Amino acid sequence: MAEQTFELVFDGYWREPNKGGIPDKSGVYCVYECTHDETEKNVTIHRLIYIGQGENVRTRVANHEKWNDWKKYVRGNNQLCFSFAPVDKDTIDRIEAALIFKHTPPENTEYIDSFPFDKTTIISEGRTFLLYKNFTVDRK
């Protein structure tokens, strides 16, 4: 496996009641705590909770075993919300690992202290609040 660069385009943010709008495609996703402003029709992102991946992200999020763990980070009238970036199945593990290793979300356990792949650069655009838009990680 050689050094690689990946470009991600994140879409979102789908709030908890609208999670059915998350694409039913292969990709990586981020779970956030957010506040929805009904008057302004926008969300304010407060913190990154988890980064994951799935062959069908809509189904993965809807049936995730950590759902109750994620909810522990939601304060007051806030909600969970999600962003998504499509990723090919053959590179999904490497991209997820790089995102987790760089951002260390509190509900992730794997890849927090180690990165088992060759040098990887991630360039992100779109709905990337609280994510580094351009970073490189090395095998550790």
Domain chopping of the chain, boundaries: 4-137
Question: What band does 1 get if pLDDT is binned at 50, 70 and 90?
Answer: low
Contact between 101 and 110 (Cβ < 8 Å)? no
Backbone angles phi, psi at 39, to 5 degrees: -65, -50
Residue 20, SS3?
A: helix
> Tokens standing for 62?
């809807």
> What is the tens place of the pLDDT at every residue in 52-90?
999 999 999 999 999 999 999 999 999 999 999 999 999
pLDDT at residue 57 in the model: 97
This prediction's pTM = 0.96
Is the domain spanning 4-137 CATH 3.40.1440? The answer is yes
pLDDT at residue 132 in the model: 97
131 secondary structure, DSSP code = S
Residue 24, SS3?
A: coil
> What is the tens place of the pLDDT at every residue in 12-59?
999 999 999 999 999 999 999 999 988 888 899 999 999 999 999 999
pLDDT at residue 37 in the model: 86
pLDDT at 124 over 80: yes
> What is the tens place of the pLDDT at every residue in 103-121?
999 999 999 999 999 999 9
- Which residues is 122 bridged to in the sheet? 6, 135
Contact between 29 and 131 (Cβ < 8 Å)? no
Sheet of 79-86, strand order: 42-54, 27-37, 79-86, 4-15, 120-126, 134-137
Residues in the chain: 140
pLDDT at residue 85 in the model: 98
CA distance 10 to 82: 10
pLDDT at residue 106 in the model: 98
Q: Of the candidates 96, 91, 86, which has an alpha carbon nearest to the alpha carbon of residue 10?
A: 86
